[in-house]
Amino acid sequence: MAHNLWFADNVMERAMRRERVFRDRSNLLEMYNNEDFISRFRLPKEVILSLTDELAEVLSPATSRSHSIPAVLQVCTALRFYATGSFLNTVGDTVGLSKASVSRVVYRVSRALSNKLPQFPNQMAELNKLKRGFFSIARFPNVVGAIDGTHVRIQAPPAHEHLFVNRKGYHSLNIQAVCDSDLRFLNCVARWPGSLHDSRILQNSQLCLAFEQGIIDGVLLGDSGYPLKPWLLTPFLNPTTLAQRNYNTAHCSTRNTVERAFGVLKRRFHCLHGELRMAPDRVCNIICATVVLHNIAR
């Protein structure tokens, strides 16, 4: 009898509507001065407002019911996560949102920003500007970009886990990117598991097809992990002449812009330094979003 009463009370308690609790949301733009704001969110306030206007159509709720989250707070929440890489509930404590809300906001903002990934230029005026920028580094002619790959650590996914283990033994996504002489990204491919080689990713990219078809006039500089092609120059593995050594020196000085760009990207958005504890498709959106924001910051 007592057991039946306990069961009935438990069912009644579960059936009752649980009252929602809404946290107080701070106005983050008024809470910090511009210097403190940049240190926490990586972008100035005026850039945040401009970015919010661009994404407002995607981020703004259809109605004002249920204490909907303003677009500017969504952008700040996502930026705070990118900048720190903290647990979602820690970010939520900072901005006044629940863990579930932060998760939805980061996904929504990341997906919106990833749609703004840069497209590699093919107009002659833009290509000539890229060539002049690279030529000023070490007098290497006709260079329109430096290409390389970097790994972003992720938690082991439940499906096809073995494909994400890279050569260093941890789970990751292998990110291919091309940058200009000012460390801005011109192209980014973030969808391949860590076990794939850099050259395989390039071979399956639209960028490779564009260069093969002659749509882009110029050459890329890559490390020895890439194949030598008319439009992709790699260093001599064993230089024997002065000309080859001079070539390698100029090649290294010019190509290392992409390594520096990756370094700046990961220092600016610390979520790329640690292990992203999300599904691979969500991590891909986050990586693309940080690339877009990096270009804005540059």
pLDDT digit string (tens) for 181-223?
999 999 999 999 999 999 999 999 999 999 999 999 999 999 9
Do 164 and 172 meet the contact criterion of CB atoms below 8 Å apart? yes
Domain count, the chain: 2
Report which residue type is found at 257.
Answer: T
Do 291 and 271 meet the contact criterion of CB atoms below 8 Å apart? no
Please give the pLDDT value at position 5: 54
| Domain match, 246 and 128 both | yes
| Domain match, 92 and 133 both | no
Which residue in 14, 11, 12, 49 sits closest to 29, CA to CA?
49
**Which of 55, 89, 114 marks a domain boundary?**
114
Residue 81: inside a domain: yes
| Domain match, 29 and 129 both | no
| Domain match, 168 and 102 both | no
| Domain match, 38 and 181 both | no
| Domain match, 279 and 240 both | yes
Full residue range of the structural domain in which residue 215 is found: 124-297
| Domain match, 108 and 233 both | no
Please give the pLDDT value at position 38: 93
96 pLDDT tier (thresholds 50, 70, 90): confident
H helices of the chain, where? 2-15, 28-31, 34-41, 45-59, 71-84, 88-95, 99-114, 124-138, 198-203, 206-212, 242-268, 280-297
Task: Count CA atoms closer than 13 A to 247's CA, side-chain side.
Answer: 13
The C-alpha atoms of residue 112 and residue 114 are separated, in whole angstroms, by: 6
- Residue 41, pLDDT > 90, answer yes
Residue 289: inside a domain: yes
Please give the pLDDT value at position 2: 53
| Domain match, 177 and 197 both | yes
